Structure 1
């Protein structure tokens, strides 16, 4: 198929035959590519089975880094059990209060409420 096709001059039947030929060619090529990929995958599996020590080192989960405990910095005065550390998304109670005109500084837990261990004192 070195010649250039004039699709405008072709009849519907000729175009349909061309469509079927292209479909056949694509089917053959896709099947052969699939076989090649399957062979490559089988080869990689054999390599993996022969050398399991190196693959275990790559797939072993790493130990999680220890983060320090984050203590709350803000507290809902209406519901003292609702606190927020200042990290992540703001809680709903704080977002609603800020929309009504309050300032975030109003919700800070004071140093007097925190004991020597960094925990909030009970009233």
Structure 2
């Protein structure tokens, strides 16, 4: 379908989808990089946390699992109470998978 053939509502929906894809690009790239590194670590018989020197004890800081789409300094480990930015992002149409790091 050509852009000229689309209705105003279809164009606005397309723009929203493109903006969301742009905003979540870095998060998707980081998620892919993490998956590749975890696979390589597993091939070597280690966890990524072990190679990175991160402790899995209860007092250790957990690695963030989710990142704010507009402000990458806001993260969440996926444990405990959901932060307001995470809830707001879901309510505004983001899927959980697009917020993953």
**What range describes the TM-score normalised by the shorter chain of this pair?**
0.3 to 0.5
Q: Which has the larger radius of gyration?
A: 1
